[in-house]
Chains A and B, each alone.
Chain A
């Protein structure tokens, strides 16, 4: 069964604006990861947040994790046209071996 659900499914913003994507999951997890995928390409790992962490930063990225609500958010600040891509959250359920991907958010940044 699909572990992560993402919201919104698609997001269109102007360059320079911030983009926020949300992810919800169903079971307890070891960690949650965010990946980016340009059209037709492989996925690129962006950031990993462990279940005992609440917030993590990497450059223009900020990720939060609320394990009580089983949700995470990815904030991209000062977006650029090059940020146009699909973004997936991925969870590693506790007691499991698998990384399962959410449905993804398609982000379009207009120059």
Chain B
């Protein structure tokens, strides 16, 4: 069983809706990630938070807005999405503080939120 919990498991939304994806971990990890995965493709990094601060934004469109309210929670706010944004959104966490040259260690993934945009 994963120790990273994502809700909801499935989400269907229209292009004018506003919704949020939520992620929670209680492993004391201080780095948290959002990845997007299309069918039969690898996960693509979207955002990285380190110590509740946004460290990396991989040029993600502004219709995706991340938020890290505290060290255990990570949200992804969705607004005015396009059908091509339909994908599996994966949250992950890792123990290491991000620092120059160190890279990241083992990532712990949630089961993902399957998003369909109509």
Contact = CB atoms under 8 A, between A and B. Distances in A.
Interface of A: 2, 29-31, 33, 35, 40-45, 48, 88, 90, 92-104, 106
B59 interface: no
Interface in B96-118: 98, 100-112, 114
Contacts of B41: 103-104
25 contacts: A2-B42, A29-B103, A30-B101, A30-B103, A40-B112, A40-B114, A41-B112, A42-B4, A42-B6, A42-B90, A48-B106, A92-B103, A97-B48, A97-B98, A97-B100, A98-B48, A98-B56, A98-B103, A98-B104, A99-B45, A99-B103, A101-B43, A102-B42, A103-B41, A104-B42
Given A42-B2, A92-B105, 15 more contacts: A30-B103, A31-B103, A42-B109, A42-B112, A43-B43, A43-B107, A43-B109, A88-B43, A90-B107, A92-B103, A97-B98, A98-B56, A98-B103, A98-B104, A99-B103
A36 to B, nearest CB: 11
Contacts of B40: 106
Interface in B34-80: 40-45, 48, 50, 55-56
Contacts of B111: 41-42
Contacts of A102: 42
Tell me what chain A mostly uses at the interface: helix, strand, loop, or mixed: strand
B112 to A, nearest CB: 5
A32 to B, nearest CB: 10
A2, A29, A31, A88 interface centre (most CB from chain B within 10 Å): A31
Nearest to A41: B111
Contacts of B6: 42
A97 B56 contact: yes
